[in-house]
């Protein structure tokens, strides 16, 4: 056993329930935490997450110092940097797994280098309940349908011996192996768009624990109903903390499971964790879905390239209030209510017939909780081209969705304030309001709020006709 340890931090920015940090501190005299910032992983594709990462690293560094563990942030390629560790450096390197195909492939290359250079290393299960390769059908093939997958996965997890993870040990001295080449604040996006995020989020482990406590205390009992109502604070908002590993999914599971017989919303929330597991399984067994349709018949779908409509969708200027509210919430906060995510996604791929990958790419840039597995799987679910997908011919009517899930306009009027005086009867179909009344309440459809860019009935018919064409082929 070497005297010193390096813990390679990736999506595990936490002290509690951190196997790699815990093991290193318990078995070595000195420990250093290393975060490698590879700008190629972010570029201009994940701007919102640059903000979250920057703030998270600042908070994590403070937490680590309490244990005399330094955090070094180095910019560059993971393979190039970790290749600098030599046999006589007297260090062992630890890390937790991340479940994305490209990252797994890079991890294998790094392990091969360590083996060649005779570097001691050890890795641990990542932020997931089950290793995806452990959940298969009886014939060894992967699941493509959620319900049997989750039934098998949940049973597998329940039958496991609960993991016992020691607390991180406070060390006598700090230790630095690499020297930081970049500060956390230098990771921030160039444009000031992100500054407003601070009104809505505090990226840290302690805030993740607060969110979990709020879920258990105030939300989980009514979660089954409240999670679909965007105008109430009914969702956990734990997703970005899960993405960056500021809380472990097992911690959430354990807290929620203690309420299994008390909270009627328990099952609904646990199923959400199941969809996260299912998505990770899908992209690892079917990595081709990261570049295209899982269902290949959709490769012949007649998508429409319409930059004008795509821009209006991004800006929240489609003329459909619930869609516009969602897109504006996304740009303002870096997050969007899950029910509304489905509505805006359906509108893009079915009403506008714009390729789902355009929406996925925009979400990647704007979401603080962007998760490759979940985002790609959910977009393909809505588009009808993924696993266990909603049928393409199931087309959300945005007007009916708004009336059903935001009847009083609490959510819509917050994010589309130009409609704040609109009578609720017409809020989700403002184009039907008589012009005389529009003048009275100082709203002119087509002037200070757009007319619908497409007519629902016509767009629906066009989408169904397009779907018939690929069925014939």
Residue 329 appears among annotated catalytic residues: no
SS3 state of residue 42: coil
| Structure tokens given for 155 | 């049973």
Location of structure tokens 């390096």? 6
Residue 201 appears among annotated catalytic residues: no
Catalytic residue among 38, 338, 365, 418: 338
Cα 97 to Cα 122: distance, rounded to the nearest angstrom:
10
Would you give the distance in Å from CA 172 to the centre of its chain?
38
| Structure tokens given for 292 | 């295209």
Counting runs of H as helices and runs of E as strands, what totals does the chain give? 20, 5
Catalytic residue among 16, 58, 75, 272: 272
Cα 25 to Cα 291: distance, rounded to the nearest angstrom:
40
- Ordered DSSP codes for 331-398: HHHS---HHHHHHHHHIIIIIS---HHHHHHHHHHH-TT--HHHHHHHHHHHHT-STTPPPTT----H
SS3 state of residue 243: helix
Residue 193 appears among annotated catalytic residues: no
Contact 68, 170 (CB under 8 A): yes
Contact 252, 276 (CB under 8 A): no
Catalytic residue among 95, 313, 335, 356: 356
Catalytic residue among 193, 253, 303, 431: 303
Q: What angle in degrees, to the nearest 10, is found between the helix axes of 249-257 and 266-285?
A: 150
Residue 275 appears among annotated catalytic residues: yes
| Structure tokens given for 49 | 């997450």
Location of structure tokens 């990226």? 203
Catalytic residue among 275, 313, 381, 415: 275
Residue 415 appears among annotated catalytic residues: no
Contact 281, 143 (CB under 8 A): yes
Catalytic residues: 272, 275, 303, 338, 356, 379
């Amino acid at each position: 056993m070497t005297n010193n340890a390096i813990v390679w931090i990736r999506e595990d920015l936490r002290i509690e329930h951190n196997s790699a940090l815990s093991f290193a501190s318990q078995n070595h005299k000195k420990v250093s935490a290393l975060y490698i910032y590879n700008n190629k992983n972010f570029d201009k594709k994940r701007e919102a997450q640059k903000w979250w990462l920057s703030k998270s690293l600042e908070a994590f560094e403070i937490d680590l110092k309490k244990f005399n563990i330094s955090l070094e942030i180095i910019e560059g390629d993971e393979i190039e940097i970790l290749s600098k560790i030599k046999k006589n450096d007297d260090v062992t390197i630890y890390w937790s797994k991340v479940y994305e195909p490209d990252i797994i492939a890079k991890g294998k290359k790094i392990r091969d280098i360590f083996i060649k250079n005779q570097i001691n290393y050890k890795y641990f299960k990542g932020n997931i309940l089950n290793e995806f390769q452990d959940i298969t059908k009886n014939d060894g093939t992967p699941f493509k349908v959620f319900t049997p997958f989750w039934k098998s996965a949940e049973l597998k997890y329940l039958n496991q011996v609960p993991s016992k993870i020691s607390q991180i040990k406070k060390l006598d001295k700090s230790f630095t192996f690499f020297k930081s080449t970049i500060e956390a604040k230098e990771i921030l996006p160039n444009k000031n768009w992100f500054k407003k995020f601070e009104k809505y989020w505090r990226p840290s482990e302690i805030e993740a624990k607060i969110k979990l406590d709020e879920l258990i205390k105030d939300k989980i009992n009514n979660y089954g109903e409240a999670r679909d109502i965007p105008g109430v604070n009914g969702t956990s908002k734990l997703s970005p903390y899960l993405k960056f590993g500021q809380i472990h999914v097992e911690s959430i599971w354990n807290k929620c499971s203690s309420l299994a017989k008390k909270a009627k919303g328990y099952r609904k929330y646990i199923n959400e964790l199941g969809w996260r597991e299912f998505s990770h399984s899908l992209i690892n067994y079917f990595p081709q879905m990261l570049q295209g349709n899982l269902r290949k018949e959709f490769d012949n779908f007649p998508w429409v390239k319409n930059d004008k409509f795509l821009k209006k969708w991004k800006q929240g200027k489609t003329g459909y209030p619930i869609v516009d509210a969602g897109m504006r919430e996304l740009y303002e906060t870096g997050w969007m209510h899950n029910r509304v995510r489905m509505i805006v996604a359906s509108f893009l791929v079915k009403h506008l017939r714009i390729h789902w990958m355009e929406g996925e790419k925009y979400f990647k840039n704007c979401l603080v909780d962007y998760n490759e597995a979940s985002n790609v799987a959910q977009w393909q679910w809505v588009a009808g081209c993924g696993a266990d997908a909603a049928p393409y011919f199931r087309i959300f009517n945005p007007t009916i969705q708004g009336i059903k899930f935001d009847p009083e306009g609490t959510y819509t009027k917050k994010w589309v304030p130009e409609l704040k005086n609109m009578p609720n009867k017409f809020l989700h179909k403002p184009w039907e309001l008589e012009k005389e009344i529009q003048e009275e309440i100082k709203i002119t459809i087509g002037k200070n709020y757009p007319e619908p860019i497409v007519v629902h009935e016509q767009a629906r018919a066009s989408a169904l006709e397009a779907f018939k064409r690929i069925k014939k082929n």
